[in-house]
Each structure stands twice: as C-alpha cells, then as structure tokens.
Structure 1
Amino acid sequence: MLIHPGFDPVALRVGPLAVHWYGLMYLVGFALFWWLGQRRLRHKPYHTLGWQGRDVEDMLFWGVLGVIVGGRLGYVLFYQPLTYLAQPWRVFAVWEGGMSFHGGLLGVLAAMALWARRQRRSWLQVMDFVAPCVPAGLAAGRIGNFINGELWGRVASADLPWAMVFPAAGPEPRHPSQLYQAGLEGLTLFLLLWWWAPRARYTGEVSAAFLVGYGSLRFAAEYFREPDAHLGLLSLGLSMGQWLSLPLIVCGVVLWAWVRWRAPQLR
C-alpha cells in the first residue's frame, strides 16, 4: 500500500508570489496545445487550406479564455450553485479553486465558434482541428490534481498494489483516480485521436469521436473517483461527473450520425 508523497502545492516562491503546481500544469497544457497544433497543420485538410501557425496562436488565446471563464462558471453552476447564489462575489475568487471540465468544454466551444465566425471558417472544421490537441492538456491537469493530493479515488482493497493513502482523505487506501483519468481521458484518448484524425474524415467526425471518447472514458473513470462530498452519488447511483458525461456521449453519437447523413465529401 502506497502513501501519497504530500507534495508542496507551491512549486516556486518569489517573495510574496507563489507559483502553484496546478497553475503550472495549466501552462503545460496550453504549451502542449500550441506544440501539437503546429504539427496538426500538416494533417488533412489543413495543410492544403492555407492554415498557418498564427491561426494556432489565435485559437490558443481564445481557447484559454474559454477554459478559464467556462471552467469557473461550470463549477459554479454544476457543483455549488446555492453556495455562490448566496455569496455571488465568490465567483471571482478563483484562488479558492473550483474548475469544471464540462464547463470549460462549453467555454471552448463558444470561444471557437466566435473565432471561426471572425475568420469565416467552418466551426466543425475548427473543432476537428482542436480535438486531437486537447487530451494531452487534460492529462497535465490530472497530474496537477495528483500533485495537490485532491480529487482522490474511492476506497480500494489494501491488496491492490497501487492503492494509495491520501492523508487528507483519511487512513483508508484509495484508488489514485487522478492517474487513472490522466491515462484514460488524457493519454489514451490523445493516442487514439492523434492516430485516427489525420486520415480522410468527414467534417465533424473527429469532433464526434472526441465527445464519445471523452464522455465514455470519463464515465468509466468516475466509478473509481470519490464523488464530491457535498453532492455524493445522485440518481441511479451516478456521480455528477457521470451525469455530465452522458450528454457528451449522446451529442457525439448524434453529431456522428448527422455528419454521415449529410454525406459531405471526405476531406
């Protein structure tokens, strides 16, 4: 049975300034998006449509805004609406923590829609570009959760070789669910999409694959993650993360069917 190392959440202190590991993981995720985006330009159909490096930089800027604003508002609305309704000024207290992937996804979708409209480009084509570049950043974020010793897993058998005690969660051995999520919705989804996306696809197929893939892998990982203490398990014994993942799977399937029904030319 392992014990969480209890990392200092602050990576670097410069006078009164404290740089947290979790914030650094966000920067790593954004840097990975830029690096992968430059290579995504070589894939079909972007290498023949005149897409350039500055397009990746613009999408990154808009995407960062979408992640931060959407992630924060998503956490407020999905996880603690009554708390923030009673104290609305705390919505802006981002230093207290509290971000939601599902909210961040909605923020990115909105940001990319605005950018696509400004550039007079197909929104689905833009999202097809973005989708394979996202999971690597998700893996970095989950590693940040692990370093912080937060969002730990459910109680596990002490016989499980990698069961881990998180001191803040009590003496019971638990699943290191942050690492499960980093491996599933992060590394596994990245490898699958990065291998699959460059081939000739209908516009919208890559976006649909991301929605189905992320939703399914997140849904599975939630069985090992401890539900939020103030929410617990909801209807049908599912966590909030699972309920929020189901619409992603449904939307992905519907988008896939709609794209195939329209039967555009392969790009």
Structure 2
Amino acid sequence: MIPSQSYWTFDLSPFVFQVKNINFNWVTTWWGILSLLIVFGGGYFFTRLKIQNTKLELKNPKNSIALKKLQNWELIQTILIYSFVVLGVLYCLQVLNVNWGLRWYSTMYLIGFIAVYVGCMHWIRKKTLMLTEAMLMNLITFCILGMLVGARLVYVFIYNWDYYKDRPLDAIATWEGGLSFHGGIIGVSLAIIFYCRKNNIPFFHLTDKLVRIIPIGIGMGRIGNFLNGELWGRAVESNVPWAIIFPDGGNVARHPSQIYQSLGEGWGLFVTLFIISRWKHREGTISACFIMFYCFYRFIVEYFRAADAQINYFYLNNFTWQPLNAFPGTPNWQVITMGQILCFFFFFFGCFLMYLSRKNILEGGQEWQTRMDQFIRMHNSEKKK
C-alpha cells in the first residue's frame, strides 16, 4: 500500500559511533601525549595518594566519613583506568583499520543491566535484599548468560527452525540478531534458580526485586529496536501522523510499534509493578504480576506489530499460518502472531504462580525480617573471618 501522504522515512544510524568516524590523530601529537599524561597519569597517582591517606584515617573503625571518601576515590580511580583502557582499544582498532562500532541496541541493554545493578545496590544498602555486592555481580553474569542462551534457543527452534536446521552453525551467531524475549525469561529464570540453590536464597525473594527493574531494560531495548530500524509495525490503514516509512519494509507507512512496545512492555509495566509493590504482598506476587502484565501489554501491542516474515500470522478461523490479509474480511482479533500465542500460555503460567504464592511469607513481615537478619549476620561473620 503506497502512502497517500508524506511520512517521515527512517534514516537513523544503528550505531552510537563507529571507530572509523573518530579522529585519533591528536594522540600522536606532543600536546595529545602531554594531555594523556596529565589526565590519566596524574589522575591515577593523585587518586592513589588520596586512597592511601584515607586508609590511614580508617584506623578509627567508627570513622564512617573516611570509609565513604575511600569508596569515592576508589570509584574515581577505577573510572580513570577503564577510560584509559577503552581509549587505547579504540585507538588500536582504528590503527588496524577494524571497522567496529557501538550499536544503540547493545547500549540500551547495557543501560538495562546498569539499572539492575543500581537498583539492587540500593536494596542491598537498605538491607532488604539477600545479596552482597560481590554476589550481585555473579548474579548479573549468570543472568546475562541465561538470557542469551534461552532467548537464542527459543528463536532458533520456534521462530526460525526452517532456516537453522540446514545451517546449525549460524545458530550461535547471536551478533546477527534473533532473540526471543519469552526465551530470555526462561533462560534468566533457570539461571536464577541455579544461583538461588547454590547460595541458599529464596527464589521469589530475589525475582520480586529483579522484575521491578527489568522493565527499564525492556523499554530501552525496544527503543534500541527502533534505532536499529527493525521489528517495525504493520502498515497503517488510515491517517496516522506519526507513522514511519522503514526502507527495509518497502514504501509503506507503518506503525512505530517499537515505541508502542517501549511504552507498554517497558515503562507501562514498570509503573504498574511499582504501584502493586506499594501494597502489602506475599513473595512471588510481583513476579507473577510481571509475567501477567507483560503478556497483557505485549498481546495488545502485537496487533500493531508486523509478524516475523518466516512465520506470518495465525488465522483462528481456519488454523493456518498465512500472510496478513490472506483472507479479506477476517476480524482482526482472529489474526494473531506467534508472540501472542506465547503470551497466552505465559499469562496462565503467571496466574499459576500467583496461586502458588498465596502461602508464601509476607514481604516486610516478621518472618521475612527474621530471615533477612540471619542473612546479614551470617555474611558479617564471614567478613570478619
């Protein structure tokens, strides 16, 4: 369908930056070398001196101000070291003519994991989460691996098996795209189950905290999809001023469904869970609500999103997979996608979790607080050893 009016044609770059577009000539000049020595060399030795002096102040165990100063100086020193390493790597990539770039999609997921880290650190310091900082870093590593493996396996075996069955080695090429969020949930859940059993942490105690922050990563990830010009929406059937023509989708004005998903599955879900968490609830309730409300928002927005080309749409009236409008006159509600089918089953799984959580302990209750105090005492004693 050729658009009857002028719409914006998508022309954004999927890269935050590319090495080939960065000028590093200044690094080899005398003033560039001098600047690097002052900023990184001088900064490192200055922070090192401050850290040593602050450690002397810590001989008094009650000096909490000195402890905070030490943490701040160590953070500044770490930032300096990592910044220098990143600058050196980028310079070497340009010298070697390696055309590498940081993609928006990767950046958005990185922001999501940073949000998880910041949120969990907030709860750790408030002593409402059974984790330490070291345990948190291990948990995030497990979750990243679980997400990648689970999301990729579901995409390969459910969304695109006809392609990968003849190209099995391509199944590991995650950098070429192709991840399923539902598979990511399964992978992360299995990783958390393993981690909780290994560290004797109640599963729902941990997931109830994590799922409150995960929608931030989902919302940012969908914005990354938009900036990548992928997973666009269905063709508009009337005047939609904000519709966009995606070059890879033909000369057709489409819904920016990535933005719809960001607003619904991301920020809408975040606000929904925040509101629910303000009420008294048992452990597992927030996790169940995360699954149910994600499926609810995703199911609705899928009516604006174009289905994966290799699968097409499922027609409920004759139980066949066909392209959109293959049967003119079919009501919209009878044409669904694979994402909606998965949401349907996941929604009832969320309801099942809600049923199971009815006998769990009350978050913030006496039993919950006693368990939290035991965890804190145990890890404080381990620190002293």
1:157–1:173 CA contact under 8 A, matched in 2: no
Higher Cα Rg: structure 1 or 2?
A: 2
Aligned residue number for residue 152 of structure 1: 232
Aligned residue number for residue 32 of structure 1: 115
- What SS does the corresponding residue of 2:165 show, helix, strand or coil? helix
Distance 1:63 1:50, change over 3 A: closer
Aligned residue number for residue 44 of structure 2: none
Aligned residue number for residue 356 of structure 2: 258
Aligned residue number for residue 226 of structure 1: 306
Aligned residue number for residue 19 of structure 1: 102
Distance 1:49 1:186, change over 3 A: closer
1:203 corresponds to which of 265, 283, 298: 283
1:11–1:19 CA contact under 8 A, matched in 2: yes
Identity of aligned residues (%): 35
CA shift for structure 1 position 175: 0.7
Amino acid of the residue matched to residue 337 of structure 2? S
CA-atom RMSD, angstroms? 1.9
1-side partners of 2:142 and 2:286: how far apart?
20
CA shift for structure 1 position 77: 1.4
2-side partners of 1:157 and 1:87: how far apart?
38
1-side partners of 2:314 and 2:179: how far apart?
20
* Equivalent runs, 1:130-145 vs 2, <5 Å: 130-145=210-225
2-side partners of 1:119 and 1:106: how far apart?
20
Aligned residue number for residue 6 of structure 1: 11
2:340 corresponds to which of 222, 242, 251: 242
Distance 1:263 1:112, change over 3 A: closer
Q: In the TM superposition, what whole-angstrom CA distance separates every residue of 1:48-67 from its partner, at most 9, and x where no partner exists?
A: 56543334323211111111
Distance 1:196 1:38, change over 3 A: farther
CA shift for structure 1 position 161: 1.9
Amino acid of the residue matched to residue 167 of structure 2? Q
CA shift for structure 1 position 174: 1.0
Amino acid of the residue matched to residue 11 of structure 1? V
1-side partners of 2:12 and 2:232: how far apart?
14
- What SS does the corresponding residue of 1:134 show, helix, strand or coil? helix
2-side partners of 1:33 and 1:232: how far apart?
35
1-side partners of 2:138 and 2:274: how far apart?
21
Amino acid of the residue matched to residue 304 of structure 2? F
CA shift for structure 1 position 82: 2.3
Aligned residue number for residue 82 of structure 1: 162
TM-score calculated relative to the size of structure 2: 0.65
Structure 2 unaligned segments of length 5 or more: list them: 1-5, 20-93, 317-334, 365-385
Instruction: Tell which deviates more after alignment, 129-138 or 198-207.
Output: 198-207
CA shift for structure 1 position 31: 1.2
Instruction: Tell which deviates more after alignment, 13-22 or 97-106.
Output: 13-22
2:288–2:350 CA contact under 8 A, matched in 1: yes
1:75–1:99 CA contact under 8 A, matched in 2: yes
CA shift for structure 1 position 264: 4.0
Aligned residues: 263
1:175 corresponds to which of 255, 259, 264: 255
Structure 1 unaligned segments of length 5 or more: list them: none
2-side partners of 1:106 and 1:179: how far apart?
24
Distance 1:4 1:198, change over 3 A: farther
Q: In the TM superposition, what whole-angstrom CA distance separates every residue of 1:84-103 from its partner, at most 9, and x where no partner exists?
A: 11111111112221111011
2:199 corresponds to which of 111, 119, 125: 119
